Chains A and B, each alone.
Chain A
Amino acid sequence: MTHIIEETKATVAIERCATCSAACPVRTDTRAYVDLIQQGRYLEAFEKIREFNPFPSVCSLICHHPCEQECRRATVDAAVALRNLKRFAVEQALEYRQRKRQKAVITSSKTVGVIGAGPAGLTVAHDCIKAGYAVTVYEAMPRIGGILACAIPRYRLPDEVLQQDLDDILALGVEVRTNVRVGKDIHLSELRERHDAVVLALGLSESRTVPIENGDHPDVVLALPFLRASVLGPPPKVHEHVLVVGGGNVAVDCARTAIRLGARTVKMIMLENEEEMPAWDWECREALEEGITFVHRQGPKRLLTERGKITGLVTRAVLRVFDESGRFAPTYDDQRLTTIPGEMVIIAIGQRSDLSLVQGTPVQLDERGPLRFDRETMATSMPGVFACGEVVTGPGAAIEAVASGHRAARAVLHYLQTGAVTPVCEEPAPEKVGELPKDVIEHIKRMERIAMPTLSPEERRRSFVQFELGYTEKMALAEARRCLSCTAGATVDEKKCEACLTCLRVCPFGVPQVDKVAVMCSEMCQACGLCAVECPARAISIRRFAPGDIRDRVTTLLRGAPAPLARVEFTCAQDAETNEDLRDRIITADGVHVAVLPVTCAARVDEIDMMKPFELGARAVVVRRCRDCRYRGAMDRLSKRIGRTREILTAAGIGADKLTLE
Chain B
Amino acid sequence: MIVANEKPLAEVFGYIKNYRRVLILGCGECVTVCHVGGEKEVAILAQALRLKALNEAKEIEFLENTVRRQCENEFVDPILAKLDGIDAILSLACGVGVNHIADRHGTIPVFPGVNTVFFGTCEEHGVWAERCAGCGTCILHLTGGICPVARCAKSILNGPCGGTKDGKCEISTPEHPVDCAWYLIVERMKRLGTLDHLSEIIPPKDWSSARDGGPRRRVREDLRLAKIEKVK
What residues make up the interface of A, taking CB atoms closer than 8 Å to B?
496, 498, 500-502, 505-506, 535-538, 606-608, 611-612, 614-615, 648-649, 651-654
**When chains A and B are docked, how far (Å) is the Cα of A326 from the Cα of B117?**
74
The verdict on B51 contacting chain A, using a C-beta distance below 8 Å, is yes
> B35 to chain A: which residues have CB within 8 Å?
500, 502, 536
5 A-B pairs besides A536-B41, A651-B9 with CB distance below 8 A are A505-B125, A506-B125, A536-B35, A537-B28, A651-B10
In the assembly, what is the distance between CA of A648 and CA of B38, in Å?
A: 17
- The 4 A-B pairs of least Cβ separation, nearest first, read A651-B9, A653-B55, A652-B51, A500-B33
- Whether B20 is near chain A, meaning CB under 8 Å from some CB there, is no
Instruction: Tell me whether A536 and B38 are in contact (CB under 8 A).
Output: yes
**CB within 8 A of B38: which of A538, A612, A615?**
A538
Measured CB to CB, the closest approach of chain A to B26, in angstroms, equals: 9
The answer to whether B28 and A496 have CB atoms under 8 Å apart is: yes
Q: Point out the residues of chain B lying under 8 angstroms from A501, CB to CB.
A: 122, 125
- Closest beta carbon of chain A to B135's beta carbon, Å: 27
Q: Which residues of B come within 8 Å of A, CB atoms?
A: 8-10, 28-29, 32-33, 35, 38-41, 43-44, 47-48, 50-52, 54-56, 66, 122, 125
Q: What chain A residues lie within 8 Å of B50 (beta carbons)?
A: 615
Show 10 A/B contacts (Cβ-Cβ < 8 Å), sorted by A: A536-B32, A536-B33, A536-B40, A537-B38, A537-B40, A537-B66, A608-B47, A615-B51, A648-B44, A653-B52
Q: A224 to B54, alpha carbons, bound, how many Å?
A: 77
Which A residues are CB-close (under 8 A) to B44?
607-608, 611, 648
Interchain CB contact (< 8 A) of B9 among A506, A607, A614, A648 = A648
A612 to B122, CA, bound (A): 32
Most buried by B among A496, A498, A614: A498
B32 near A653 with CB under 8 A, answer no
Q: Is the CB of B47 within 8 A of A615?
A: yes
Least CB distance from A87 to B in Å reads 42
Closest Cβ–Cβ distance, residue A599 to chain B (whole Å):
18
> Closest CB of chain B to A502's CB: distance in Å?
7
- A652 vs B122: C-alpha distance when bound (angstroms): 30
User: Known: A496-B28, A498-B33, A537-B32. Contact between A652 and B39, CB under 8 A?
Assistant: no
Cβ of B79 to closest chain A Cβ, rounded Å:
16
Closest chain B CB from A396 CB (angstroms): 52
Whether the Cβ atoms of B54 and A498 lie closer than 8 Å is no
B51 x A654 contact (CB < 8 A) = yes
CB-CB under 8 A from A614, the residues of chain B are 51, 54
Please state if B40 and A653 are interface contacts (CB–CB under 8 Å): no
- Chain B positions within 8 Å of A538 at CB level: 38-40, 43
- Using Cβ atoms and an 8 Å threshold, which residues of chain A touch B8? 651
A651 to chain B, nearest CB (A): 4
Query: Which residues does chain B contribute within 8 Å of A502, judged by CB atoms?
Result: 35, 125
Most B-side CB within 10 Å, residue of A500, A611, A614 = A500
Least distance between A98 CB and chain B CB atoms (Å) = 46
A to B contact number (C-beta, < 8 Å): 71
In the complex, A607 Cα to B28 Cα: how many Å?
Answer: 20
> Cβ of A652 and Cβ of B43 under 8 Å apart?
no
CA distance A506 to B207 in the complex (A): 42
The answer for the CA separation of A505 and B48 in the assembled complex, in Å, is 27
Check A652 against B38 for contact (C-beta < 8 Å): no
User: When chains A and B are docked, how far (Å) is the Cα of A57 from the Cα of B39?
Assistant: 47
Residues on A with beta carbons closer than 8 Å to the beta carbon of B66: 537
Task: Decide: A615 and B54 in contact? CB cutoff 8 A.
Answer: yes
Residues of B with C-beta under 8 A to A654: 51, 55
Given contacts A536-B33, A537-B40, A652-B9, contact A498 B28 (CB under 8 A): yes
Q: Give min CB distance, A630 to chain B, whole Å.
A: 22
Q: How far is the CB of A547 from chain B (nearest CB, A)?
A: 12
Cα of A544 to Cα of B56 in the assembled complex, Å: 39
Q: Which residues on the A side are within 8 Å of B55 (C-beta)?
A: 652-654
User: What residues of A have a CB within 8 angstroms of the CB of B122 in the complex?
Assistant: 501
> What residue of chain A has the Cβ atom nearest to residue B42's Cβ?
A538
Cα A167 to Cα B33 in complex, Å, equals 59
Give the shortest distance, in Å, between A421 (CB) and chain B (any CB): 51
A498's partner among B10, B32, B52 (CB-CB below 8 A) is: B32
Q: How far, in whole Å, are A538 and B8 apart by their CA atoms in the complex? A: 23
Query: Which of B40, B50, B125 has the most chain A CB within a 10 Å cutoff?
Result: B40
Residues in chain A near residue B54, CB distance under 8 A: 614-615
Q: Is the CB of B40 within 8 A of A535?
A: yes
* Interface hub of B33, B47, B55, B56 (most chain A Cβ within 10 A): B47
Q: Name the B residues within 8 Å of A607 (CB-CB).
A: 44, 47
A129 to B8, CA, bound (A): 66
Contact present for A649 and B40 (CB under 8 Å):
no
Contacts of A537 in B (CB 8 A): 28, 32, 38-40, 66
Docked-complex contact A498 and B38, CB < 8 angstroms: yes
Please judge, given known A-B contacts A498-B33, A652-B9, A654-B55, whether A608 and B39 are in contact too, CB under 8 Å. Answer: no
Is A653's CB under 8 angstroms from B48's CB? no
Report A-chain residues with C-beta under 8 Å of the C-beta of B125: 501-502, 505-506
CA distance in complex: A498, B122 (Å): 15
Residues of B within 8 A of A615 (CB): 47, 50-51, 54
Q: A652–B33 contact, CB under 8 A?
A: no
Residue of A nearest to B1 (CB): A500
